[in-house]
C-alpha cells in the first residue's frame, strides 16, 4: 500500500506524456514518458513484498530487514539506558524495505526521536539521526529493542504497531523509504548468530538466540 502513490503517480504521468507525445509528435514528451515509466518500474521493484518463512525456534531473533551487517558489538541503548548487544543492518535502495518483527512478544513501548539525517553507515546515526523504536517484551520477561533509523536520503519512517499489541515474529510492521538501517538491541547474554559483513534476509536470517 505504501508504494501505490509512487507507482500510480509515475505510471499515470508516463501515460499522460505518452499521449501528449503521440498527438503532438514531441520528442521531449517521449523522453519524459520513458523516464517516468522507469521510475514506475523502480517503484514496483523497491516496494516489493515477498513472502518469508521465519524460524520456529521460540528464542530465535530474526533479522527485521534485508541488508548487510555493519555493526556488531556491545552498546548502550539510549532509550532504555541498558547495555545490550547491538546488531546494525544497512539497507541499500536495492534491498527489500519491508521491516519485520524480530521476535514474538508484547509491544511495551514505541518511541520516536527527531534528529539529523547523517549517512546511516556512520555509527553516529544510531544516536543522532531521526529514528523510531519498538521495545518488545517476551512472555519470559526478556526485552528487545528494534530501531528504524532515517538516513541521508531515506527520511520517511513508517511504523504501524501500537503499544499494548502482541507482535508475531516475521510479521510486517513498517518500512523506511529509500534506503536506511535497522538497529537491533539484544540482551547481552543472547547467543549471536551473525558476523560482520553478513547479508541478512528479513524474516529469515537468525541474528541471535535468547537465553
**pLDDT, tens digit, for every residue of 70-100?**
999 999 998 888 899 999 999 887 887 789 9
Spatial neighbors of 19 by CB under 8 A, at least 6 apart, are none
Per the annotation, the verdict on 14 as an active-site residue is: no
22 cis-preceded (ω within 30 degrees of 0): no
Report the residue count for the chain.
211
Annotated active-site residue in 29, 43, 54, 180: 180
Q: What percent of the chain has pLDDT over 70?
A: 90
Please, where are the H alpha helices in 47-178?
125-128
Residue 211: other Cβ atoms inside 10 A:
11
Q: How confident is the model at residue 24 (pLDDT cuts 50, 70, 90)?
A: confident
Which of 148-178 are b and which e, b meaning 16 or more Cβ less than 10 Å from the residue's Cβ? bbbbbebeebbbebeeeeebebbeebbbbbb
Weakest-pLDDT range from 40-49, 113-122, 196-205: 40-49
Q: CA gyration radius for the chain?
A: 19
pTM of the model: 0.79
Query: Mean pLDDT across the chain, nearest whole number?
Result: 85
Give the start-to-end residue ranges of the domains of the chain.
4-46, 60-209
**pLDDT, tens digit, for every residue of 141-159?**
999 999 999 877 656 788 9
pLDDT of residue 51: 78
Residue 116 DSSP one-character state: B
Burial group, residue 36, by CB count within 10 angstroms (0-12, 13-18, 19+): buried
Q: For residue 37, report the phi and psi dihedrals to the nearest 5 degrees.
A: -65, -40
**CATH number listed for the domain at residues 60-209:** 2.70.70
pLDDT of residue 84: 95
In this prediction, residues 190-206 reach a mean pLDDT of: 95
Amino acid at each position: 500500500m505504501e508504494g501505490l502513490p509512487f507507482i500510480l503517480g509515475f505510471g499515470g504521468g508516463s501515460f499522460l506524456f505518452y499521449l501528449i507525445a503521440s498527438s503532438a509528435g514531441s520528442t521531449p514528451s517521449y523522453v519524459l514518458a520513458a523516464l517516468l515509466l522507469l521510475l514506475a518500474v523502480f517503484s514496483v521493484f523497491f516496494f516489493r513484498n515477498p513472502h518469508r518463512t521465519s524460524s520456529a525456534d521460540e528464542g530465535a531473533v530474526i533479522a527485521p530487514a534485508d541488508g548487510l551487517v555493519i555493526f556488531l558489538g556491545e552498546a548502550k541503548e539510549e532509550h532504555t539506558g541498558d547495555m545490550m548487544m547491538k546488531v546494525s543492518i544497512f539497507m541499500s535502495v536495492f534491498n527489500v524495505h519491508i521491516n519485520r518483527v524480530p521476535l514474538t512478544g508484547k509491544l511495551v513501548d514505541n518511541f520516536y526521536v527527531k534528529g539529523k539525517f547523517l549517512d546511516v553507515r556512520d555509527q553516529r546515526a544510531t544516536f543522532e539521526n531521526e529514528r523510531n523504536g519498538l521495545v518488545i517484551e517476551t512472555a519470559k520477561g526478556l526485552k528487545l529493542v528494534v530501531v528504524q533509523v532515517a538516513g541521508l536520503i531515506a527520511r520517511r519512517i513508517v511504523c504501524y504497531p501500537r503499544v499494548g499489541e502482541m507482535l508475531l515474529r516475521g510479521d510486517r510492521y513498517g518500512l523506511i523509504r529509500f534506503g536506511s538501517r535497522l538497529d537491533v538491541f539484544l540482551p547481552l547474554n543472547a547467543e549471536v548468530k551473525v558476523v560482520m559483513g553478513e547479508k541478512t534476509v528479513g524474516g529469515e536470517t537468525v541474528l541471535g538466540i535468547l537465553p
